[in-house]
Amino acid sequence: MKKNLLSILSIFSIVSSVAQTNDDAPKLSEVWDPVPAIVKPGKTAQDAPSDAIVLFSGKDLSAWQNSDKKPAEWIVGDGEMTVKKGTGMIYTKQAFGDCQLHIEWRAPAEVVGESQGRGNSGIFLMGVYELQVLDNFNNRTYSNGQAGSIYKQLIPLANACREPGEWQTYDVIFTAPRFSDNGRLQSAARITVIHNGVLVQNNATLWGATEYIGIPQYKKHGLKEPISLQDHGNPVSYRNIWIREL
């Protein structure tokens, strides 16, 4: 009888220790720190979340300047800004490196020109890596120069262009390149681009700074640099530009 009792107790003890181990097992792989910061999302995914820096809300170009650090001269009206031909690129006053960027653009409704001459502008991350803006709705051009390309480097995975005159979105996740003190490239820039909800660049590796002629090369620059928008002579418009530093 005593032997039986001991045996029952021993079985109970083994079973309970296994149960306890099983109860604790999931906790061993739980990580509670760090706690992700609370970010209040915008009303829709296109609206700036609470921690975003708004670069253009439709009112003024106070976050922008021209290459001489003088006031940007592009045209502002109706909640949008439009390239003023011949006034040159505009640059953010603030510098950015790793970031999440939301930007909306519109090629002119009136179709003028073809190939690279139709609704051409561009978003230059760090001032030198061009994400092409171009009206490629029924407009063929070289594939590594069309909308959603990293100009003359990376062909987009799809052509997601809307019709000219319609607003389009780019959502960009950009990782800045890193350089050593002697100017050597340590890690290349990477980019993910979603065009009108369609993935067109998937964590793609950039070859270097955008070149019109020749092979792109990396040249050392800061961890953060201004973002610029291109005046290619076509009246392309922008609105609702915000950025989150990563």
β-pair partners for 87: none
Binding residues for Mg ion restricted to 42-71, rule: CB under 5 A: none
Q: CB-wise, 52 or 125, nearer to Mg ion? A: 125
Of 230, 96, 242, residue with least CA distance to 175: 96
Number of C-beta neighbours around residue 60 at 10 A? 12
Kindly tell me which residue out of 97, 119, 122, 177 binds Mg ion, with binding defined by CB under 5 A.
122
Contacting range for Mg ion; rule: CB under 5 A; set: 56-64, 72-80, 218-226, 228-236: 228-236
Q: CB-wise, 28 or 213, nearer to Mg ion? A: 213
Binding residues for Mg ion restricted to 102-121, rule: CB under 5 A: 120
**For every residue of 70-93, which 3-state class applies, written as one string?**
CECCCEEECCEEECCCCCCCEEEE
Which residue's structure tokens are 């006053």?
93
Number of C-beta neighbours around residue 214 at 10 A? 7
Q: How far is the CB of 90 from Mg ion (least distance, A)?
A: 14
Q: How far is the CB of 34 from Mg ion (least distance, A)?
A: 40
87, 193, 229, 230, 232 from 83: Cα distances, Å: 8, 23, 9, 8, 8
Beta-strand pair 168-175/178-179? unpaired
C-alpha torsion sign, points 66, 168, 95, 38: positive
Q: How far is the CB of 112 from Mg ion (least distance, A)?
A: 16
Q: How far is the CB of 136 from Mg ion (least distance, A)?
A: 12
β-pair partners for 65: 71, 91
Q: CB-wise, 130 or 171, nearer to Mg ion? A: 130
Q: CB-wise, 66 or 120, nearer to Mg ion? A: 120
Which residue sits closest to Mg ion, CB atoms considered? Answer: 122
Q: CB-wise, 80 or 130, nearer to Mg ion? A: 130
Number of residues that bind Mg ion (CB under 5 A): 3
Q: How far is the CB of 116 from Mg ion (least distance, A)?
A: 8
Q: How far is the CB of 177 from Mg ion (least distance, A)?
A: 21
Q: CB-wise, 132 or 240, nearer to Mg ion? A: 132
Residue 192's SS3 state is: strand
Residue ranges binding Mg ion (CB under 5 A): 120, 122, 230
